[in-house]
């Protein structure tokens, strides 16, 4: 199924707890915003994708696949200095990708675990 295999999209929540039971999620604030790109799944299918990453580690993703199929979901996300993880709430699927920001943090390239590189532009 070609929903969101390569989301900015995809997210494993990295949380820390302390003695007061409060949780915090690590994010890179340079990734906060709305991003647009063309994604490719492992079968070579492509989709236009819009992903919004909020500063509270929530967001949304919307795909329009080349065959007309659509996918939309709320998501949660976390990041380190080199990886980003997305988890879609509609199906609880997660994906972790390596990322590299460029062009004054207005372009991000995500390299998925299967080696596919998807490039996004801040909109």
Return the percentage of the chain with pLDDT > 70, whole number: 81
Structure tokens at 109: 């390239």
pLDDT attached to residue 42:
86
Residue ranges and CATH numbers for the domains of the chain are 15-122 (2.40.128.50)
Model pLDDT for residues 60-71, shown as the tens digit of each residue: 999 999 999 999
Least Cα distance to 96 among 1, 2, 14, 3 occurs for 14
The pLDDT of residue 7: 44
Report pLDDT for 23: 57
- The structure tokens listed for 104 are 């004054």
Q: What is the pLDDT of residues 46-90, one digit of tens each?
A: 999 999 999 999 999 999 999 999 999 999 999 999 999 999 999
């Amino acid at each position: 199924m070609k929903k969101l295999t390569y989301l900015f999209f995809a997210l494993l929540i990295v949380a820390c707890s302390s003695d007061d039971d409060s949780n915090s999620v690590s994010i890179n604030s340079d990734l906060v915003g709305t991003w647009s790109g063309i994604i490719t799944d492992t079968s070579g299918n492509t989709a236009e994708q819009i992903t919004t990453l909020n500063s509270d580690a929530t967001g949304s993703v919307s795909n329009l696949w080349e065959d007309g199929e659509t996918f939309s979901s709320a998501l949660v996300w976390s990041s380190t200095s080199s990886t980003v993880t997305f988890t879609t709430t509609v199906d609880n699927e997660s994906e972790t990708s390596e990322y590299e920001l460029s062009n004054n943090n207005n372009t991000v390239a995500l390299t998925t675990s299967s080696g596919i590189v998807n490039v996004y532009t801040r909109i």
